[in-house]
């Protein structure tokens, strides 16, 4: 039984032929997307380097409403870009963030970045065993194991609020001090509290307040910091003026 | 110069101690999150098995507004769960989706699922070379290479709209017919058009209309289908009634 829909399928012209006739690279599409965001956003109170981060968060979600929830500590961009330039180690709370982070973008900031500079312990067998024994989520124990990475490193959370809660404790009680905390866990249990607690601590952070968050936001934040760090060059603030957008 | 904030850090009690005193597993937190969504959602028009999918999309983004944009073809759940039960191959458009898909959840549906049943070609060197030569995004050529996987397989898009456009063309012109298209590319260029075109084709789909989308939504959709397929057992619709939630 052939449906009439099938005939319609054949009759119409596929949209992609327009792209074949006027090719656009992936990089060109990215630029056009960022221009679209700039043209639609209207006025906002973000500093230019903060906007670089927020714009990429909008780019990765197509959600302008996130603008209302993004929070920067005053030193976040400076500390985060400085850490990337000195090839700070990066701790991530999910395999999705690890998969999304672009080594190419990191190497534009510091050519010595290697895959082994990105740490993710949540799938380690010893972590799973400890979590099962204690009746607690694995991500808590993954963060504990990461302590040497977290002190001076970049801590990236796009998934697990309890991991951020445990980092908050390590900051409060154990003297751990990351160069930057990217605080974007998402969900309905412990999430809002984990970010509210972080925002009261004396540590550089970029956060999405409330329940919203996710791995793409965390990845987009790091990639925006890579653009800022690479654009500025090493240790100068002024080179970026020549960048477009 | 020590800031007064540091003293405050030490004075307050870290929130995570509450969790240590009353432990909750990751699974318990997930259940509580899903209950929270159910208690807050209000009325909606989704069928119970569709709601399983939409609820997980809300779980992974904490964004109830997505409900307005999710579209199911009438045969989507049946075709998608059937495909998972018969260990259909899965094509994904990003490394993040591959990293996010849980082999454990897939194996609860069909214990024979293996990592090699998930295909992602976007980072292949031959794909990058072809894209550079043609001045087009890599994801187009990744989809073309995936043709044997896509016919009868599950096609998952959480990133690249041009990949979905190319699949649409293959459906319209080449007779390719996936068991399910998960259509959730995100962004500002080609995105809305790619989904609008798909929704006019005679193929099972679950889509997020408009600009919104993303890898976590695509992963959440597959995981929800895994729950439905595993809960129902093989080929029966009625076993799921005993499930909680």
Determine the average pLDDT of the residues in B156-184: 97
Looking up tokens 């295909």 gives B119
Q: Which domains does chain A have, with CATH numbers?
A: 23-39+46-237 (3.40.50.10230)
A30-64 burial, b at 16+ Cβ within 10 Å, e below that, comes to: beebbebbeeeeeeeeeeebbbbbbbbbbbbbbbb
Confidence (pLDDT) at B7: 53
How sure is the predictor about A233, in pLDDT bands with cuts at 50, 70 and 90?
very low
Confidence (pLDDT) at B88: 98
Alpha-carbon span B168 to A172, nearest angstrom? 53
> What is the ipTM score, two decimals?
0.90
The model's pLDDT over A2-21, given as tens digits with 9 standing for 90+, comes to: 444 455 555 689 999 999 99
The model's pLDDT over B74-96, given as tens digits with 9 standing for 90+, comes to: 999 999 999 999 999 999 999 99
Q: Residue B163 pLDDT more than 70?
A: yes
CB–CB contact A136 B8 (8 Å): no
Confidence (pLDDT) at A12: 85
Selected residues 159-188 of chain B with any CB under 8 Å from a CB in chain A: 162, 165-166, 168-169, 171-173, 186-188
Of all residues in chain A, the percent with pLDDT exceeding 90 is 88
Confidence (pLDDT) at A10: 54
- Asked if B186 contacts B213 with a C-beta cutoff of 8 angstroms, the reply is yes
How sure is the predictor about A238, in pLDDT bands with cuts at 50, 70 and 90?
very low
Kindly identify which residue of chain B lies nearest to residue A100, measuring between CA atoms: B96
Mean pLDDT of chain B: 91
Nearest to A61 among B9, B24, B186 (CB): B186
Q: Residue B244 pLDDT more than 80?
A: no
Confidence (pLDDT) at B231: 86
Alpha-carbon span A63 to A201, nearest angstrom? 28
Alpha-carbon span B185 to B158, nearest angstrom? 4
B181: closest CA among B121, A82, B161, B1? B161
Say which range, A21-25, A86-90, A220-224, B229-233, has the weakest mean pLDDT.
B229-233
**Measured between alpha carbons, how far is residue A176 from residues A74, A157, A171, A179, B90 in Å?**
19, 16, 5, 10, 42
- Asked if B134 contacts B164 with a C-beta cutoff of 8 angstroms, the reply is no
A127 to chain B, minimum CA–CA distance in Å? 13
Structural tokens at position A127: 């972590």
Number of helices (H), then strands (E), belonging to chain A: the values are: 13, 6
- Counted residue by residue, chain A has a size of 245
Q: Residue A240 pLDDT more than 80?
A: no
Q: Residue B233 pLDDT more than 50?
A: no
- Asked if B137 contacts A25 with a C-beta cutoff of 8 angstroms, the reply is yes
Q: Residue A37 pLDDT more than 80?
A: yes
Confidence (pLDDT) at B12: 85
A207: closest CA among A186, A225, A173, A181? A181
A143 to chain B, minimum CA–CA distance in Å? 13
Q: Strand pairing partners for A208?
A: A70
Mean pLDDT of chain A: 91
What amino acid positions of B are annotated as catalytic residues?
59
How sure is the predictor about A231, in pLDDT bands with cuts at 50, 70 and 90?
confident
The model's pLDDT over B130-143, given as tens digits with 9 standing for 90+, comes to: 999 999 999 999 99
Q: Residue B119 pLDDT more than 80?
A: yes
CA angle B66, B189, B157 (to 5 degrees): 55
Alpha-carbon span B178 to B151, nearest angstrom? 5
Confidence (pLDDT) at B10: 53
The model's pLDDT over A156-187, given as tens digits with 9 standing for 90+, comes to: 999 999 999 999 999 999 999 999 999 999 99
Catalogue the E-assigned strands of chain A.
70-72, 90-92, 118-119, 154-157, 180-183, 205-208
- Residue A151 falls in the annotated catalytic set: no
């Amino acid at each position: 039984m052939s449906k009439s829909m099938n005939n319609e399928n054949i009759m119409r012209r596929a949209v992609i032929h327009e792209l074949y006739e006027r090719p656009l690279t992936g990089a060109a599409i990215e630029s056009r997307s960022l221009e679209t965001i700039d043209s639609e956003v209207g006025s906002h109170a973000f500093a230019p380097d903060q906007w670089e981060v927020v714009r990429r968060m909008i780019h990765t979600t197509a959600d302008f409403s996130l603008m209302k929830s993004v929070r920067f500590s005053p030193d976040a961009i400076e500390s985060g870009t400085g850490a990337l330039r000195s090839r700070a180690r990066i701790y991530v709370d999910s395999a999705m963030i690890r998969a999304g982070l672009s080594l190419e973008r990191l190497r534009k900031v510091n050519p010595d970045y290697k895959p082994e500079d990105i740490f993710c312990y949540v799938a380690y067998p010893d972590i799973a065993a400890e979590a099962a024994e204690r009746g607690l989520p694995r991500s808590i124990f993954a963060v504990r194991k990461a302590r040497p990475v977290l002190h001076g490193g970049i801590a990236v959370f796009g998934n697990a609020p309890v991991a951020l809660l445990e980092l908050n404790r390590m900051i409060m009680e154990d003297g751990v001090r990351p160069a930057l905390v990217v605080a974007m866990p998402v969900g309905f249990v412990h999430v809002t509290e984990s970010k509210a607690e972080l925002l009261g601590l004396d540590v550089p952070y970029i956060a999405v307040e409330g329940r919203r968050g996710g791995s793409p936001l965390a990845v987009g934040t790091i990639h925006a910091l890579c653009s800022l760090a690479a654009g500025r060059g090493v240790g100068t603030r002024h080179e970026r003026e020549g960048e477009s957008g």
